[in-house]
Structure 1
Amino acid sequence: MQKLKKCLLLAISLCFCLTLWYRPAYAFITLNDQFVAGQACEALESIRSKTNPGNIRLTPQKTYPVVGKNRDNASYYLLKVEGAQPLTRWVSVQCGQLLGSSAPVDQAYLLALSWQPSFCETKPTKPECQSQTAQRFDATNLVLHGLWPQPRTNIYCNVSNDIERLDKNNQWSQLPPINLSQETRNALAVKMPGFASNLHLHEWYKHGTCYSESPEEYFQEAIALLDQVNNSSVGDLFVRNIGNFLSANEIRNQFDEAFHDGAGSKVQVQCERDIDEDKNNMVVELQINLRGNIQPDTPIETLLQAGQTVPAGCTRGEIDPAGFN
């Protein structure tokens, strides 16, 4: 009997040793670095269980202190995330970039620019449409609809359920005010006519919160991209053809001329039917696919080169003049 017990103990010890032998080696490695988020990824309490108390997500373009990584060839970094409980959270290495690395944060965006006279034909009761004149900026320039981090599911980052509910119910006037400089407010009032209907609040809470922790940064950089398009030959093309029709190919070819070959393939043209009996297609919006690390002085040409190639959209549409025809 004693001999049998010894044999059993030996077998158990052998199994335990084999288990240790075949177990993957995970060794926490301490780091002293900074991590720049590229996406609104989940910040996990545990890699194994994937738990995320508080449903914490990173804010794109924000920098976080790095505590360590899960192994030498890391798949996760351990960050300090202010406001999270517990404070340290695991995020996938694919969510951004260590600041010490020379590689930029690689993030996709959709820049939506509207042709306001066409939009107003479909929404004539909007305050910004009722006040539109042929002399106003939006009569002869593309205007800002929004800058949307991709994929499209990347929305409402660290936004409360109450704010999300108000936004989805189009109760934009009841959304909490945001901190913007007077200069940026003045620019939005001109270059985002929907500012009169609180479009800026909707865009910030739905999309901007996944772009930056700062509304000022979000809108300044979006306006800088808008200005580059309006100040190019693309803007000239629209002005020359007010009251006429443009094809998607003409618009995309002009992007190629303004921002080098291939830029036009990143632009999709959106059209709407006119509200009158003519039922003509009107160009309402350009959806421009970008990729890269956006800064106030980033050339849109660079972002277009890396952007996603997309279908042309509607075939042909009118560049509607200001006023209700």
Structure 2
Amino acid sequence: MRAAACLLASAMLASATPLASQAYQCNLPSKVEVPRIDSERPRRLPVTGYTLALSWSPEFCRFREDQRRHARQCSGDSGRFGFIVHGLWPDSERSWPQWCGGRQPSESDLRPNLCISPDARLLARQWAKHGSCMTRRPATYFKVTRILYGGLQWPDFVRISREDDLTVGTIRKRFADANPGWFPEAVGVVLDNRGWLEELRLCYDKRFMPDACDRQRYGAQDGEPAKIWRGL
């Protein structure tokens, strides 16, 4: 599994787009406090694929602009964000592998990711909960995450938000059309209970190639009306 991740990194590095493509004026902090995450009961299962969960930051920050806990992502002082990485998750046909053990990440592990996932605690938790079931080293997990994210092309979601009669199917199609090799069935869409876009969940097979999402990851159905908060 570690060899596959390294092979992926080498193959995609040359073609990766800038990591700040969804982070406007984001700068990496000079210092990062490394939070300690307490592990939970392990669930070690064979990995059958992966999910890259991407949170739509304007919706997340909609009522959190003044919260100190989310200041880096939501205050605007560290830049404005579009889609940010919620996490890279290993999947299993039976359940989700979780909490497989491993060392705490270091500052040098976390810092390079703070323009694609602007929360050190979230990063540390994603490593402990998910990444530890993929590889032994936090640096490898985060490197693969950055390369997957950097390899994506982003349609203009502000423009998409203004389309008449916007549906979940339109969101899937716009993303797939912008990314050669992707297809709508590999793009999960999560809406909140009022129909606002919260998250995309990109589904991969064991080789990190786009794969059709199962029902759990697919989320909302194509015909459902959707809204996208622009945060402007």
TM-score above 0.5: yes
- Corresponding position of 2:87: 146
Partner residue of 2:55 out of 114, 121, 130:
114
Q: Which runs of 5+ in 2 are unaligned?
A: 7-44
Q: CA deviation at 1:263?
A: 1.8
Distance 1:115 1:37, change over 3 A: closer
Calculate the TM-score normalised by the size of structure 1: 0.48
Match of 1:66 in 2: none
Aligned CA distance change for structure 1 residues 309 and 253 (closer, same or farther; 3 Å): farther
| Cα distance per residue 1:48-81 (max 9 Å; x no partner) | xxxxxxxxxxxx969xxxxxxxxxxxxxxxxxxx
Alignment-derived partner of residue 225 in structure 1: 148
Aligned residue identity for 1:193: P
**Is residue 2:196 matched to residue 1:282?**
yes
Task: Give ranges in structure 1 of 5+ residues lacking alignment.
Answer: 1-35, 39-59, 63-93, 96-105, 160-175, 274-279, 295-302
The alignment partner of 2:61 has SS state of: helix
Map of 2:225 onto structure 1: 316
SS in 1 for 2:184: helix
Any conservation in 1 of the 2:84–2:116 contact (CA below 8 Å)? Answer: yes
TM-aligned CA distance change 1:126 to 1:147, over 3 Å? farther
In the other structure, the counterpart of 2:25 is none
Give the corresponding residue for 2:129: 206
SS at match of 1:200: helix
1:236 aligned residue: 155
> Does 1 or 2 have the higher relative contact order (CA < 8 Å, sep 6+)?
2
- Provide closer, same or farther for how the CA distance between residues 180 and 270 of structure 1 changes in structure 2, counting only shifts above 3 A: same
2:155–2:175: 8 Å Cα contact kept in structure 1? no
- The verdict on how the C-alpha distance between 1:177 and 1:191 changes in structure 2, with shifts beyond 3 A counting, is same
What is the CA distance between 1:228 and its match in structure 2? 2.2
Residue identity over aligned pairs, in percent, reads 22
What's the CA shift for 1:243? 6.4
1:187 equivalent to 2:112? Answer yes
Matches within 5 A, 1:43-122: 107-121=48-62
Q: Is residue 136 of structure 1 aligned with residue 62 of structure 2?
A: no
Q: 1:291 to 1:244 in 2, by over 3 A?
A: same
**Deviation of 1:321 (Å):** 2.3
Aligned partners of 1:261, 1:189: CA distance in 2, in Å?
Answer: 28
Per-residue deviation, 1:190: 1.4
Q: Return the offset for 1:144.
A: 0.4
Q: Quote the RMSD (CA, aligned, Å).
A: 3.4
Name the larger-Rg structure: 1
Confirm or deny that 1:251 pairs with 2:171. Answer: yes
* Mapped partners of 1:248, 1:129: distance in 2: 30
Paired residues of 1:108 and 1:307 also in contact (CA < 8 A): no
2:37 corresponds in structure 1 to none
Determine the C-alpha separation between the residues in 2 that align with 1:224 and 1:313.
27
Amino acid of the structure 2 residue aligned with 1:178: P
CA-to-partner distance for each residue in 1:84-136, whole Å, 9 max, x for gaps? xxxxxxxxxx96xxxxxxxxxx8401110010110122555363357432982
Q: Secondary structure at the match of 2:135?
A: coil
Q: Is the 8 A contact 2:64 2:70 kept in 1?
A: no
Q: CA deviation at 1:145?
A: 0.3
1:137–1:228 Cα change, 3 Å: farther
Structure 2 SS opposite 1:256: helix
Q: 1:202 to 1:266 in 2, by over 3 A?
A: same
The letter of the residue matching 2:70 is E
Q: CA deviation at 1:227?
A: 2.0
What CA distance in whole angstroms lies between the structure 2 residues aligned with 1:122 and 1:281? 16
